[in-house]
Amino acid sequence: MQLVKSTILDRFKMLFSDYKTLLVIFLIISMTRPQTGWGQDNSPYSRYGIGDIVPSTNISNRGMGGIAAGYSDPLSINFNNPATYALFQTRKEENSKKLSWGRVILDLGVNLESRSLMEKDITGKFVAKNALFSYLQVGLPVRQNLGLSFGLRPVTRISYKINKVGMVYDPNTQLPIDSALTEFTGDGGAYLATMGAGYKLFKNLSIGFNGGYLFGEKDYSTKRTLLSDSVSYQRSNNETKTSYGNIFFNAGLQYYAQLGKKIRLTLGVYGNWQQRLNATRDFVAETFVRDPVQGDIRVDSVYEQKGVIGKIIYPASYGIGFVMEKPSEGKSRGWQFGMDLVQTQWNNYRYYGEIDSVQNKWELRMGGQLWPSLSSASKSYWSFVSYRVGLFMGADYIRVQNKLPQYGISFGLGLPLSYTRQNPNQATMINVAAEYIKRGNNSNLLKENLFRLSVGFALSDLWFIKRKYD
């Protein structure tokens, strides 16, 4: 009899052995670009700051209102609080720090969105539907109480196209010149690539950090066409395109306490400090003609300025919260309940030294879940499903004339898939979260209703096992 230890390459091959998994990964990665997904989102609020903030939590967390400070799960990756990386499932050999096995996790997700825009005192609404990349994360246990994670996720998204018909006035005399069609468009967004580590310092205390690179693009354009029957005018375009990026850091802590024999309390805190992003801005004022086949073609450059160096200040953010939980016992389900308070200092945001229509953002998040029972007596699949619910509320970070309230509810499911005979150590969890979000009210220029369905695939495999054969 001989002992053989599989290589890391072999384990990756096994983790990605299912061609369906490869297809899902390919489709999701193919959407990782700083544009919208499969449609025009058309949210005018994405004009401000560095765009609309996309969901910042794992899909498991979203089903519970987005709680993350005190949350941990052995089959998903809580990238908000990197202290949880220390809790990746492991088992060590006796009298050794080496792993006898460790559970490696591949966690990826996609969002399906339907956004409705409504203007005050006007009937009707604009509806946009999109499929968008959410995140791709890998969790790797190094040894007991020490774990690593790396991945990529979007942070913000810019996507709008608005047409306006109105009069153009002479700037000197203020007399009307002619009517004009003005097109306002915006595109871009920010992405964050990270690699982090979590370590359990003591029995009840874990610490973690993420280091990475935050990068993105802002592309704003104003195109005008004068609508005249008597005079022929050239179309004009004024466009500003900014690229930015820099190193990004955030950190987290979790403390665990046993309350009696059955209840456990986890306190958590996480956040990032203020970041200064290096930016390069191009500006062009030009005339153009519109071709139905080739699109907009430049006729002449009126003014052009390229490569203007500057800074974008990305604000500090922090979250603090707790999770109380009771484990499953026999036929009885376990449960979790948690609450987070999250704040971001958007008052400190600057774009080339300029302020914007943004304000400090705060959000209260609450949620919980019911865990499956440990008993195998039930033959119903739904008895092995995790059920989640949550809500969140707060003031949005965009402020145009008035505050922009935002609140929503969420529901989620954790759907386990059975182990395969070919790879009995592999396990897959499909996490689903449905969110309904209302943004703004009748005191705002626009109201938004957003329905988001998020689907996450958490694939895991036991690594470092010493396999035997005769």
Q: What is the pLDDT of residue 465?
A: 52
Mean pLDDT over 247-269 rounds to 93
Q: Residue 458's Cα: distance from chain center in Å?
A: 16
Q: Give me the residue label for tokens 């484990």.
A: 327
Number of H helices, E strands in the chain: 3, 21
The amino acid sitting at 28 is I
Under DSSP, the state recorded for 83 is G
pLDDT at 26 over 50: no
- Residues forming beta bridges with residue 451, ordered by sequence position: 114, 436
**Cβ pair 264, 258 in contact under 8 A:** yes
**How confident is the model over 322-351, as a mean pLDDT?**
90
Band (300; pLDDT cuts 50, 70, 90): confident
Q: Which sign does the torsion angle of CA 172, 173, 174, 177 carry?
A: negative
Handedness of CA 44, 46, 48, 52 (dihedral sign): positive
Nearest Cα residue to 39 out of 111, 110, 130, 102: 130
Would you say the C-alpha torsion 341, 347, 351, 353 has a positive or negative sign?
negative
Structure tokens at 157: 């998204």
Residue 187, judged by CB atoms within 10 A of its CB (0-12, 13-18, 19+), counts as buried
- The burial of 442, by beta-carbon neighbours within 10 Å (0-12 exposed, 13-18 middle, 19 or more buried), is given as exposed
Q: Which of 127-136, 189-198, 423-432, 440-449 has the lowest mean pLDDT?
A: 423-432
Answer whether 346's CB lies under 8 Å from 360's CB: yes
Q: Is 159 left (phi over 0), alpha (psi -120 to 50) or beta?
A: beta
Q: Assess whether pLDDT exceeds 60 at residue 181.
A: yes
Concatenating the DSSP letter of every residue in 386-455 gives EEEEEEEEEE-SB-BSB--EEEEEEEEEEEEEPPPSS-TT-EEEEEEEEEEEEE--TTSSEEEEEEEEEE
User: pLDDT band at 284, cuts 50/70/90?
Assistant: very high
What is the C-alpha R_g of the chain? 25
Contact 297, 288 (CB under 8 A): yes
pLDDT of res. 378: 60
pLDDT at 59 over 70: yes
Q: Dig out the tokens for 27 from the structure.
A: 């489709």
Residue 464 token pair? 């470092």
Give the mean pLDDT of the chain.
83
pLDDT band of 31, cuts 50, 70, 90: very low
Helix H segments across 100-231?
A: none
DSSP, res 332: B
pLDDT score for 4: 39
Six-digit token string for 95: 């009298």
Residue 157: the pLDDT is 92
What is the distance between the alpha carbons of residues 13 and 427, in angstroms, rounded to a whole number? 15
Cβ(467)–Cβ(423) below 8 Å: no
Q: Is 440 left (phi over 0), alpha (psi -120 to 50) or beta?
A: left
**pLDDT, tens only, 92-101:** 555 555 555 5
Residue with tokens 């005249």: 228
Q: What is the pLDDT of residues 383-395, one digit of tens each?
A: 888 999 999 999 8
- Any idea which of 120-134, 208-222, 361-375 has the lowest mean pLDDT? 120-134
Residues in Cβ contact with 57 at an 8 Å cutoff, skipping those fewer than 6 apart: 66, 68, 78, 80
What tokens were used for 215?
Answer: 């990068």
- Evaluate whether 343 touches 291 at the Cβ level (below 8 Å): no
Token pair 């998994």 in the structure block, residue: 21
Residue 187, CA distances (Å) to 152, 216, 299, 416, 451 in order: 20, 11, 23, 38, 22
Confidence of residue 91 (pLDDT cuts 50, 70, 90): low
Which run of H or E residues covers position 247? strand 235-259
pLDDT confidence band for 353 (50 / 70 / 90): very high
Joined together, the tokens standing for residue 382 give 């739904």
Structure tokens at 384: 């092995």
**What integer pLDDT is reported at residue 28 of this predicted model?**
47
Q: What percent of the chain has pLDDT over 90?
A: 47
pLDDT for residue 467 is more than 60 = no
Q: Please say whether the beta carbons of 463 and 102 come within 8 A.
A: yes
CA dist 397 and 45 (Å) reads 10
CB crowding 328-345: b at 16 or more within 10 Å, else e: eeeeebbbbbbbbebbbb
Lowest mean pLDDT among 274-278, 360-364, 400-404: 400-404
- Residue 22, H or E segment: helix 19-29
Q: Considering the domain delimited by 2-469, tell me its CATH architecture.
A: Beta Barrel (2.40)
Q: What is the pTM of this model?
A: 0.84
Higher pLDDT, 452 or 140: 452
Tell me: pLDDT of 420 over 50.
no
Residue 17 reports pLDDT greater than 60: no
